[in-house]
């Protein structure tokens, strides 16, 4: 099986530790993962803002980069969801039947990380160790666009030493929403503030989610509030092993310059 990592533009540019964690995790599970360097962005920022023409180059780059792979794994419910459910829109807009066919094939082979682990590899115990208190936020696109259900939690439950705490109102949106976060910044912040409050109420040290974008938003609020809660991507927790201290990763706590 040829497996490609779709690192996402956000992960590539701002959160490279997440991609590295996926590589470590998958290689530990015996999966050799490629990083097709032609990849750029799934195009979702443009699609969800209404700029379909502007999304065409990104979708073409996606189709070219991942052609021929059996599985494309993304540490993002949102970007995997875009590949699966929105690339067809963009191909139709480009009036390009070949592109439409290519993205339909690729869409069916694109997996969010927890889907790939549970459905394709058939594992829930990935041999991780993370002796910290954790609360998990199910991101909207993983939950409602992809329907990952409790796959992420089933993976987290098997992590050694983890103290998993239920997040009140967990299924409610954090308010990120892509450009919504800035076009409707006041509403976005009001939603995020409630999410951050629920996170603090759990008393957990770490907030975990499967999308770096949502973590950037909630984490930005938590840091501004000096809430003392770190944010980590699901991949980083699952990649953590005994002896390897994931907290040493500077990224989740990186403070603005």
Partner 1 sequence: MTGATFVGMPAFPEAARAALADSQLRHNLAHATGTIRGKRARVVGELDDWEELRTRAAGVKDAALADLETHLLTLEERLTAAGATVHWARDAAEASAVVAQVARAHEVDEVVKVKSMATVEIGLNEALAAEGIAAWETDLAELIVQLGDDLPSHILVPAIHRNRAEIRQIFVDKMAAAGRPAPDDLTEVPSELANAARLHLREKFLRAKVGVSGANFAVAETGTLVVVESEGNGRMCLTLPEVLVSVVGIEKVVPTWAELDTFLQVLPRSSTGERMNPYTSTWSGVTPGDGPQEVHVVLVDNGRTRALADEVGRQALRCIRCSACLNVCPVYERTGGHAYGSVYPGPIGAILNPLLKGVGVDEQVDSLPYASSLCGACYEVCPVKIDIPSVLVDLRAQVVDAHRGGRPSVEAAAMKGAGQTFASSRRLGLAQRLTGLGTGLARRLGLAPAWSSARDLPTAPPESFRAWWRRTDGGRS
Footprint (CB under 8 A) of partner 1, residues 44-63: 45-58, 60-61
Q: Which stretch binds partner 1 (CB under 8 A): 100-108, 130-138, 154-162, 166-174?
A: 166-174
The helix/strand/coil state of 47 is helix
Tell me which of 98, 104, 171, 244 binds partner 1, using CB under 8 A. 171
d(CA 134, CA 164): 5
In terms of DSSP bridges, do strands 33-34 and 71-74 run parallel, antiparallel, or are they unpaired? Answer: unpaired
13 forms part of the interface with partner 1 (CB under 8 A): yes
Reduced 3-state DSSP string for 65-86: HHCCCCEEEECCHHHHHHHHHC
Backbone Cα Rg of the chain: 18
d(CA 116, CA 122): 8
136 forms part of the interface with partner 1 (CB under 8 A): no
Q: Which helix (H) or strand (E) holds 20?
A: helix 16-28
Q: Is 235 left (phi over 0), alpha (psi -120 to 50) or beta?
A: alpha
Tell me which of 168, 193, 200, 247 binds partner 1, using CB under 8 A. 193
The helix/strand/coil state of 159 is coil
d(CA 51, CA 90): 10
152 forms part of the interface with partner 1 (CB under 8 A): no
Task: Give 57 or 247: the residue with its C-beta nearer to partner 1.
Answer: 57
Cβ of residue 132: shortest distance to partner 1, in angstroms? 21
227 forms part of the interface with partner 1 (CB under 8 A): no
Q: Which stretch binds partner 1 (CB under 8 A): 109-117, 124-132, 140-148, 232-240?
A: 140-148
Binders of partner 1 among 92-131, rule CB under 8 A? Answer: none
Tell me which of 39, 110, 114, 135 binds partner 1, using CB under 8 A. 39
76 forms part of the interface with partner 1 (CB under 8 A): no
Tell me which of 30, 68, 122, 256 binds partner 1, using CB under 8 A. 256
Task: Give 62 or 116: the residue with its C-beta nearer to partner 1.
Answer: 62
φ, ψ for residue 254 (rounded to 5)?
-55, 125
């Amino acid at each position: 099986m040829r497996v490609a990592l779709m690192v996402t533009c956000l992960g590539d540019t701002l959160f490279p530790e997440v991609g590295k964690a996926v590589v470590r995790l998958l290689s530990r599970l015996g999966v050799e993962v490629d990083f097709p360097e032609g990849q750029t962005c799934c195009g979702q920022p443009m699609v969800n803002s209404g700029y379909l023409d502007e999304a065409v180059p990104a979708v073409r780059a996606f189709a070219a980069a991942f052609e021929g792979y059996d599985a494309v794994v993304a540490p993002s419910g949102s970007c995997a969801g875009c590949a699966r459910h929105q690339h067809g829109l963009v191909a139709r807009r480009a009036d390009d039947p070949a592109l439409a066919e290519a993205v339909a094939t690729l869409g069916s082979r694109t997996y969010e990380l927890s889907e790939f682990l549970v459905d394709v590899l058939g594992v829930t115990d990935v041999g991780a160790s993370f002796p910290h208190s954790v609360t998990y936020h199910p991101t909207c696109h993983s939950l409602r666009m992809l329907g990952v259900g409790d796959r992420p939690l089933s993976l987290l439950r098997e992590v050694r030493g983890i103290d998993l705490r239920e997040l009140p109102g967990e299924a409610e949106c954090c308010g990120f929403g892509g450009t919504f976060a800035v076009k409707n910044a006041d509403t976005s912040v009001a939603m995020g503030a409630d999410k951050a409050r629920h996170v603090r109420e759990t008393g957990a040290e770490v907030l975990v989610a499967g999308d770096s974008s949502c973590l950037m938003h909630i984490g930005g609020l938590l840091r501004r509030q000096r809430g003392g809660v770190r944010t980590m991507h699901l991949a980083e927790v699952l990649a953590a092993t005994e002896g390897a201290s994931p907290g040493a990763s500077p990224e989740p706590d990186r403070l603005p310059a």
